[in-house]
Chain A
Amino acid sequence: MTCPVLFERLVSMVTREDVENIALLSKLFVPEEELDGLTKSMQEIIDFADTINNAPSADDSFDNINNLSNVFREDEVIPSYSNEEILSNAPEQAEDHFLVRNRE
């Protein structure tokens, strides 16, 4: 068993580096000038989330609501959509493909 108090302290410190790292993972840019403010605000939310670590440890497993299992499709082909439909919302497309043009 992990000591709850120590554990809580360990996990609840949000650093600038943490925020930079999770922003990168989230594919979001955080401007330098917003980094401190965001770190502080993340810290507040994480402190709030941390209250669950005061809860007594219970072995209540949760699988899925309604405990469903074995919901399958049969292996039968359904006609696909046309290329035009598939690409109809693409911001950019060429030669029947979605396209990310190099804008360097």
Chain B
Amino acid sequence: MGTISKIHEMLTTKQCSCEELAKSYLDQIEKSNGELNAYVNVTADEALATAQTVDKKIASGETIGMLEGVPMTLKDNISTKGIETTCCSKILTGYKPIYNATVWDILSKENSVLLGKTNMDEFAMGSSCETSYFKGAMNPFNTNHVSGGSSGGVASAVGANIAAFGLGSDTGGSIRQPASFCGIVGLKPTYGAVSRYGLIAYASSLDQIGPITKSVEDAAIVFDAISKYDDKDSTSKGYSGTSTYETLNNDIKGMKIGIAKEYLDGIRDDVKEAVLAAAEVYRSLGAEIVYFDLPALKYALPVYYIIACAEASSNLGRYDGIRYGYKTEHYNGTHDMICRTRSEGFGDEVKRRILLGTYVLSAGYYDAYYKKAQNLRGTIVKAFDEAFEKCDVILAPTVPMTAFEKGRAVSDPIETYLTDICTVPVNIAGLPGVSVPCGFNAKGMPIGMQIIGKSFSEAQILNVAYKYQQAAGENFKDTKWGVKL
């Protein structure tokens, strides 16, 4: 399996050069991207230049960091200086940021090798990657199925071994859900653990950047690297705990793993069975399973959509054709130019969410929707606080189902919104959650479960996830695609 530690070992023991490694990934992208559509922009020149730098360092006997020379990818909403960053929207076509997102600043200084930018739902609004202006990324387990969303491209690329790891963003499940669909690991960190500076905002109070990886160790390595306090982000706290990597193998005997009944409502049987089987694995490892109610979850989904759309309607106001991105050809005056640019530049789902957000903030509706939703957000935060008095971590399905066939998500917005039901509570409460593969359904599509912890308890949830990975490694599978290491 092409994990970070495996690649690090290969580079330091000179089993291959960094340039050869990068080339083999680039070759595989070339071969498979036509079908997977994971990448929307391949940055081969930049990748090879970085790889050569790393090779020089290795040749001169310098030690290299864990992430140094590792071929990886970024979701296309993470700003990369001089490299087109589009959010997979027509409205940002051609836009080349003049600054780096803080996470890319960190990783580029570590000499991680950026293979390219990956596909996503337009402005991260979607659960299937199909709202992308460049069409969706497909699932490496079966390309008739979606990769999930919104970080579908990263998940597809990592699942297909055409990137060793990637960074996605998670507003309502956008890291965990595609990781679950593609049979890999996705960590949504605590709000404030990773800097949002340079992440093109969808919903500022919910967005977090996090790793999508082949293994739990990799998620810990990447999280440890990127979870730094950033003085450019007023909501940044950084991760003050010890290295999450160090504590992966801690004993979980006596740990209380909670299951909230509400998380199992309306979940497809195959998913529910896999998650309950995982609970049994934990029991066999000495953990205690506790069941409780979390009734506040009932309102999580509408609360999420109200808050996310309200913030989005404001965050997306700036796309007006004046400073960057797409601008309409024919217009009559500034107001007309702005309206045409936006109407032509945004896709239907984005427009729908902007309109909903505008509606819930507008005069006469603010109290009934936005203010009420904020209030309920407080209730949900409190409910989780109380739940964590009963247990150490919460175990839940990541998604109520496995990856759906392409084209299904687009038809019914509400039904599509329901796929986020298990993932959004974590964003509302700002908690960390990690999705881990926990089995396959009858058609061989991966099933994921998530482990949710208290704020800034990444070390604990990754520890719990790792223990499962050790006990049930058969659920972490390579696909037919990509680089074989």
A and B touch in the complex (CB under 8 A): yes
The chain A residues found within 8 Å of chain B, CB to CB, are 7, 11, 14, 18-19, 21-23, 25-29, 38, 41-42, 44-46, 48-53, 55, 57-62, 64-66, 68, 71, 73, 81, 85-86, 88-92, 98, 100, 102-104
Contacts known (A85-B98, A89-B95); A60 close to B379, Cβ less than 8 A: yes
A38 to B354, CA, bound (A): 13
With both chains docked as a complex, state the minimum distance between the C-beta of A19 and any C-beta of chain B, in angstroms: 7
Selected from B299, B333, B342, B356, the residue in CB contact (under 8 A) with A28 is: B342
A34 to chain B, nearest CB (A): 10
- What are the residues of chain A within 8 A of B338 when measuring CB–CB? 27
- Look across to chain B and name the residue whose beta carbon is closest to the beta carbon of A29: B343
Determine whether B34 belongs to the interface, using a CB cutoff of 8 Å to chain A. Answer: no
Given A11-B364, A27-B338, A46-B359, 18 other A-B contacts at CB below 8 A?
Answer: A11-B369, A22-B362, A26-B354, A27-B342, A28-B343, A28-B355, A38-B355, A52-B303, A52-B373, A55-B299, A60-B381, A64-B235, A81-B98, A90-B324, A91-B322, A91-B326, A92-B327, A100-B337
Chain B 413-452 interface 0/1 with A at a Cβ cutoff of 8 Å (1 = within) = 1100100000000000110000000000000000000000
Task: Report B91-125 residues with CB < 8 Å from chain A CB.
Answer: 94-96, 98
Asked if A52 and B235 make an inter-chain contact with CB atoms under 8 angstroms apart, the answer reads no
Check if B39 is an interface residue, CB within 8 A of chain A. no
Tell me the smallest distance from the CB of B430 to a CB of chain A, in Å: 3
A55 surroundings in chain B (CB, below 8 A): 298-299, 372, 376, 379
Residue B305 at the chain A interface, CB threshold 8 Å: yes
Interface secondary structure of B, over-half rule: helix
Pick the residue among A41, A68, A73 that contacts B352 (CB under 8 A): A41
* Among candidates B346, B351, B359, B382, residue contacting A60 with C-beta atoms closer than 8 Å: B382
**A22→B414 contact, CB < 8 A:** no
Measured between alpha carbons, how far is A50 from B455 in the docked complex, in Å? 29
Query: Does B250 sit at the interface, judged by CB under 8 A?
Result: no
Residues on A with C-beta less than 8 A from B303 are 52
How far, in angstroms, from A59 to B325 measured CA to CA in the complex?
A: 43
Contacts of B375 in A (CB 8 A): 57-62
Cβ-neighbour of B378 out of A11, A58, A85, A103 (below 8 A): A58
Picked from A22, A65, A104, the residue with its CB within 8 Å of the CB of B205 is A65
State the Cβ distance, A104 to closest chain B Cβ, in Å. 5
Inter-chain contact B343/A68, CB cutoff 8 Å? no
User: In the bound complex, do residue B343 and residue A62 qualify as a contact, i.e. CB atoms below 8 Å apart?
Assistant: no
Q: Do residues A62 and B359 form an inter-chain contact, with CB atoms below 8 A?
A: no
Check A91 against B305 for contact (C-beta < 8 Å). no
Per the bound structure, the CA–CA distance linking A100 and B237 in Å amounts to 40
> In this complex, what residue of B is CB-closest to A55?
B299
Task: Say if the beta carbon of B153 comes within 8 Å of chain A.
Answer: no
Q: Is B387 an interface residue (CB 8 A)?
A: no
Q: B interface, how many residues as a size bin?
A: 35 or more
Stretch at the interface among B65-73, B313-321, B463-471, B472-480: B313-321
Nearest Cβ in chain A — how far from B415, in angstroms?
Answer: 11
Which of chain B's residues has its CB closest to A84's CB?
A: B98
* Residue B332, interface by CB 8 Å: yes
* Closest CB pairs A-B (n = 4): A60-B378, A65-B430, A89-B324, A91-B327
Per a CB cutoff under 8 Å, which of B94, B321, B333, B356 touches A102? Answer: B333
Pick the contact of B356: A21, A49, A91 (CB < 8 A).
Answer: A49
- Residue in A52, A58, A65 whose CB lies within 8 Å of B302: A52
Least CB distance from B346 to A in Å reads 7
> Cβ of B374 < 8 Å from any Cβ of A?
yes
User: Known contacts being A64-B205, A65-B205, is A51 close to B235, with CB within 8 Å?
Assistant: no
Which partner residue on chain B sits nearest A90 by CB separation? Answer: B323
Most A C-beta atoms less than 10 A away, residue of B235, B321, B359, B382? B359
Does B277 count as interface, using CB distance less than 8 angstroms?
A: no
B340 at the binding interface (Cβ < 8 Å): yes
Q: Give the residues in chain B near A103, CB-CB below 8 Å.
A: 330-332, 337
* 10 pairs of residues in contact across A and B, judged by CB atoms under 8 Å: A38-B355, A48-B414, A52-B303, A58-B375, A60-B377, A62-B377, A88-B96, A98-B323, A100-B322, A104-B333
Contact B192 A65 (CB under 8 A): yes
CB distance from A94 to the nearest CB of B (A): 13
Asked whether A62 lies within 8 Å of B355 as measured between CB atoms, the reply is no
Complex Cα gap A10–B338 (Å): 33
In whole angstroms, what is the CA distance A65 to B235 when docked? 8
Q: How far is the CA of A42 from the CA of B343 in the complex (A)?
A: 17
Q: Are A29 and B305 in contact (CB under 8 A)?
A: no
Chain B residues contacting A26 (CB-CB under 8 Å) are: 313, 317, 342, 351, 354-355, 358
Give CA–CA (A74, B237) in the complex, Å.
Answer: 18
Q: Which residues of A contact B292 (CB under 8 A)?
A: none
Contact A45 B413 (CB under 8 A): yes
B374, A49: Cβ atoms closer than 8 Å: no
Cβ-defined contact, A11 with B414, below 8 A: no
The minimal Cβ–Cβ distance linking A88 to chain B, given in whole angstroms, is 6
